[in-house]
């Protein structure tokens, strides 16, 4: 019983996190070795490239005229594949300990705001817009600024993480008050 519960709980976050630390080192080395350029873990730039690819499909002239897309270069690069790879990685991990579960509304959200998928969808969609505008303005998310920035002791990483968590804590307490 105890072992079964252990299995469902996954690995210790300290262990899984430490392994991500090793992965970050290995990946900085491997990208330098095989691509000639050191790449650090990150995710949010890929969302710009994804938006760019969509716009190239529906309004190519508009996308071509955008300075930010030109600057970011719309292409399926190393980070794009990294972000895509997270999906099968998480899928395999969740199958391996049977924690895969189809879920329409997160249980915590449901306990506060009910089972409406539309309500959750609207909140997640609006939150996503605000968060991504912020991440691009700050030039990174918890992966790029948080993990990679702090590993390199970047000043911007420390300030960004303080803002992420500072406003995150305030906003979460406002949303989930009572």
Comparing CA positions, the residue from 48, 41, 24 lying closest to residue 78 is: 41
47 binds other proteins (CB under 8 A): yes
d(CA 16, CA 53): 33
28 binds other proteins (CB under 8 A): yes
CB of 2 to other proteins, least distance (A): 18
DSSP secondary structure code for residue 149 in this structure: I
Q: Calculate the dihedral angle through the C-alpha atoms of 138, 142, 145, 148, rounding to the nearest 10 degrees.
A: -160
> One symbol per residue from 95 to 114: x for binding other proteins (CB under 8 A), - otherwise; what is it?
--x-xxxxxxxxxxx-----
| 140 class by beta-carbon count within 10 Å (0-12 exposed, 13-18 middle, 19+ buried) | buried
Rule CB under 8 A: choose which of 6, 25, 73, 116 binds other proteins.
25
64 binds other proteins (CB under 8 A): no
CB of 33 to other proteins, least distance (A): 9
Give 92 or 114: the residue with its C-beta nearer to other proteins: 92
41 binds other proteins (CB under 8 A): yes
CB of 62 to other proteins, least distance (A): 9
119 binds other proteins (CB under 8 A): no
CB of 1 to other proteins, least distance (A): 20
> One symbol per residue from 121 to 160: x for binding other proteins (CB under 8 A), - otherwise; what is it?
xxxxxxxxxxxxxxxxxxxxxxxxxxx-xxxxxxxxxxxx
> Quick one: tokens of 104?
């329409």
d(CA 146, CA 137): 15
CA-based R_g, the chain, Å:
19
């Amino acid at each position: 019983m105890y072992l079964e519960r252990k299995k469902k709980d996954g690995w210790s976050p300290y262990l899984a996190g430490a392994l991500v630390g090793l992965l970050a080192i290995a990946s900085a080395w491997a990208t330098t070795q095989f691509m000639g350029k050191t790449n650090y873990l990150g995710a949010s730039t890929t969302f710009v490239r994804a938006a760019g690819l969509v716009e190239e499909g529906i309004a190519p002239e508009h996308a071509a005229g955008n300075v930010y897309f030109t600057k970011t270069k719309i292409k399926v690069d190393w980070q794009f594949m990294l972000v895509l790879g997270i999906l099968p990685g998480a899928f395999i991990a969740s199958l391996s300990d049977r924690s895969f579960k189809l879920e329409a509304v997160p249980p915590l959200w449901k306990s506060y705001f009910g089972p409406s998928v539309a309500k959750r969808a609207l909140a997640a969609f609006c939150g996503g817009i605000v968060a991504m505008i912020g991440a691009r303005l700050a030039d990174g998310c918890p992966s790029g600024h948080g993990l990679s920035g702090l590993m390199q002791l970047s000043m911007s990483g420390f300030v960004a993480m303080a803002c992420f968590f500072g406003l995150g804590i305030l906003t979460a307490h406002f949303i989930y008050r009572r």
